Structures are given as C-alpha cells and as structure tokens.
Structure 1
C-alpha cells in the first residue's frame, strides 16, 4: 500500500525551475532513497512534502488522499541543518518537540525514557544542549523526530556527524522502525548507506527524475555482465581459451601460478559458456559477478544527463 505519492510536481523560483514534472511513490514500510547532486531539487521536494512551501502545480498524496495541513502530525522530519536551543536542558528540549507534535506530557516522558536508554544517553537528560557533542546533539534530534511514531519519516543526511559506531546504531533503529511499518524517505549522499538499507530509490538531476525503481531493478539496469575469475594456471592460456563471445577487460597476476581476470560476457553468452571455454585451460578457484555499486550508478546516471547542477 502506498504511503506517499508525488504527482507531476513543478516548482519555479524566479528564473530557476527547482522541480520539473517530478513524480514518485513510496510504499508503507519501505526505505526510499531520495538521491541527487547538490542543487538537483531534493530540498525543494522535501519542503513541499512538509508543507513548508507549496508546488506551482502537481499533487502530494498521503495514504491515497491529498495532503492536508493536519497531516503534518503523520510526518517526522529530520532536516540536514539541525537546530536546538543551546540553553535548554536536553530532556526539556525533547519534551517541547514532543508536545508540538501533539503528544501528552506523560506519554512523551515515558517514550523519551525508552529512547534515551536505547541510545545510552539517559545520564544527559538534565544537561544543557550546549554541553553536548555534535554526535550527542544529533541523537537528541533523531529521537525528537521519531518520538511521536509518525507513519512517514523524512531523514535528510541522518548519519552526518556520527562516528561509525553511532552510525550503525542509527541504521539499526531505522531498520527497526521499518520493521514496525514506518515508511522512511532517506535523503543522503552516503551511497554505502543506500546500498545497505534502501528498498527503492529515485535519483533527481537538474530538477528531473532520471532514475526511479527498486534497488534491485536499478542495479540490474546498470549491469555490465563483467565477471571476476580467479584461477590457477597461465594467463596466456586463459586468454587464448576465450573466444569472440567474451571480452577480457583486464587481468592481474597474483603469483607465479595464480591470476585474476575480469571477463565481459557478450552476445547473450552465459556463465556456463564461459566456464566451458576456460575449464580445459585453467583450474578455477572462484567466479563472481562484478555488480555495479550505487556510487558507480549515481556517477554514471548523472554523466548520462551531462552532469549535475552544483551549488
């Protein structure tokens, strides 16, 4: 079931078209990657979903219905530019945000206790915000974003400012929220995180959608049919065994009797065809497909649209 649907959104600022006929949808309980270079239109789209600004044309639907002002309680938004009141105490600040989202004081206190213990920051409840490290403040903002248990989360660079240990902690919490049915839109330049936790993605460039689909479908679209073969034997014998249906991309000699070769399949030939060709010549240690990474795909897709807009 759909959580969020964006239909043909157009947004113009003076002489700059920030969004040009953008459409996408996210399902309930999925993590959806909103990707693109700086200036591609991601922030404009997020602001429209949050009703901070309105589109010039197009529609935003939440759970199948046109978005209303009161739907803001269904959204948890963690902006890239964080903002906490430095002189307020940590617990007081988190409680303030919870009340803004419609939670009762007692309910918020119970939930805050759970989250502070989970993030191992219970001892900081009565400290002032200005005493916190950047990573600690990030934890407070993340908690404040998810505390009211919204069905849709929009997280803009949620791992910014975290060390590797806390990055993994936040990733685990995002996956736990997903498992409980929360829909999560993740806007990030961290392609490793996209690879690890996203179910589907949309890639914006120059205000338009240039890629959209499940992570597996997008990866399949950019497959190059290149396989890494590790073998024992002579490189020349391996190369001679390949016929016109294969292209030897490159090779590396590991030692006198072991080498690695990258081979591209051509003309609808299969891995089995490759194995039949090389088995008489060398002893195969391993063979695996070289899948494109999200980083590779991001760069290639942007290049195909002749570069991105950069701020």
Structure 2
C-alpha cells in the first residue's frame, strides 16, 4: 500500500499542503482531483522525493520511501520531462537503464510499450518532431518501461485524442489489475468517474473527501429522486420532501428526509397523476466535486480517511 501519512508543506507564507492523508491500495486506480493550485502536484512531488515535506511521511509497503524504492516507482510529470532532440527509442532505453534494466531487457521493454501505446513506428524520431499527443504517449512509456511497482501520473490524459485516451485508460486498468497501485490527477472528471476505484478531492491543500463515487454520493445520507409525470405542485404539503429542481412542469427532483419512505412518495405521485419515471438520482462526479469543494473549511476539518 502507498500511504501518504499526514504530509504538510509550506512555501513562504503559503500553506500548500495541510496534513494530507490518504492511501492507494494495490490493484487500485485512485483519481486525485482538485482545482489548479489545490496541492495535487506538490503531493506527487513529495511522493517522488522531488520535494521534502515539512511534516508527515510517505510509505510503501510500510517502509519510508528512500532512493532505492523510488527507482521502483513510475512517474509521469505534468510538464513533459523528455529530451526533445533525443530519439524516442534511445531515450526510453536510456531511462530504462537508469532504473536498473540490462540492455537486453531495456530494449525488449521499449519495444513492448511502444507497440502497446501505438508509437512503435516513431522510435527513430526525435521527440520534438512528434505531436503533443504522441509526446504524451512517450512520456507514459517512460513511466512504464522499467515495470514499476507503483504508478504516479500527473495529468496523463492532457492533450490526448479519444483513441489515445482509450488506450491509456486500458493500460492503467491493466497495471492495476496486475496489483500495481495507480494514482493519477486529472481535470477530466467524467473520465475519473469511469476509470477510478476511489477518488480523493483536495481543496486549498486539504483533503476534503476520499472514497468511491458511491461513497461520495452517500456523504449527506439524503435520498434524492427524479420523478417524471405528475403535474406541477404535487409535492406541496408533503412532510419531509424538499423540491430540489424542476426542469419542466412534469419533472421534479426531490430530496427526502431520512424518515420518509420512498414508496409513500411514489403513492403520492401516483395519486397526483401518471408516473412515467421514478428513480434514484445519481449525481455525476462533476456535481459531487462542486458540492464537496463548496462545503469549504468545515468539510476540510474532518479527517478524509482513517490512517492505514
């Protein structure tokens, strides 16, 4: 398990991270989301040892991460860390060698990953001559070429077309299925929702929520239903029922108090008119993210996740 244990970091007068704590489990794809400047990249750089935390500790399999352990991490920075005038194949083989692979193993790994990511025909090209999307594929190859035990990826889907997004998503899922903890940051919340087992939301340097999408949906304990059919006003006077939204006269989204039975609500709707749809509202991650972040410091003061 990759355990980020209460790390804090200050840059001058700015508190960049404040007691950030979460864990990424073996075989799990963990989405790390937050606005620009929230602390995602700082956290990842501390995991890699590029930055040193003021307090707290990062551990892998129970041990503090040292230089030897970092060689077994695959890291993809948001800013491309490639040599622009170096040929793709030569660069990837060089990076594999830096991680301890032999010439033979490095060459085989370069061939395997460039084929998997669809850039095998570009191994003789200089990086600077590739499109931005293909440079992103090379960057992912660089993170994978030494068969890492942990993957830490900062905005890996940036600049990719839908085909490349599908390929990269498949690679990350396969690595997780082989037991590798995968953590990546992204602003593409629909992609995070589809791909990730769990999600961590960071705001102003604090973890404000950690869990699966279903767990985040259940944070306030309320039941929200979409009801199509009954005319306007059918919820008037029903105790414990709050009208959340009404897009048209025959559609209502309602929130139920904990003691209200949804079947009682269905009977009330049927009494008012025909019901064409009656279903639990499942808000997308975009809406969950907004609600969690807008909750502000009060939410951030609560521990996001028990210590591993």
TM score, norm. by length of structure 2: 0.89
2:22 is matched with which residue? Answer: 24
Q: 2:177 aligns with which of 176, 179, 185?
A: 179
1:216 to partner: Cα distance: 2.2
2:231 is matched with which residue? Answer: 235
> Following superposition of structure 1 onto structure 2, how do residues 98-177 of structure 1 map, counting pairs within 5 Å?
98-177=96-175
2:304 is matched with which residue? Answer: none
C-alpha separation in 1, matches of 2:17 and 2:159: 29
1:279 is matched with which residue? Answer: 270
1:245 is matched with which residue? Answer: 240
1:7 to partner: Cα distance: 1.8
Query: Which 5+ residue runs of structure 1 have no aligned equivalent?
Result: none
Work out whether residues 222 and 257 of structure 2, in 8 Å CA contact, stay in contact via their aligned partners in 1: no
1:29 to partner: Cα distance: 0.9
Structure 1 runs, 4 residues or longer, greater than 6 Å off: none
1:306 to partner: Cα distance: 6.2
2:278 counterpart of 1:291: no
TM score, norm. by length of structure 1: 0.88
1:71 is matched with which residue? Answer: 69
1:303 is matched with which residue? Answer: 294
2:93 is matched with which residue? Answer: 95
Q: 1:260 aligns with which of 247, 251, 254?
A: 251
1:292 to partner: Cα distance: 2.4
* Distance verdict in 2 for CA 1:292–1:19, change over 3 Å: same
1:114 to partner: Cα distance: 1.9
Work out whether residues 227 and 251 of structure 2, in 8 Å CA contact, stay in contact via their aligned partners in 1: yes
Tell me which structure has the larger Cα radius of gyration: 1
Question: What is the RMSD computed on CA atoms of the aligned residues?
Answer: 2.2
Deviations 1:154-205 (A, max 9, x none): 1101100101221121111111111111101111222112211122222222
2:302 is matched with which residue? Answer: none
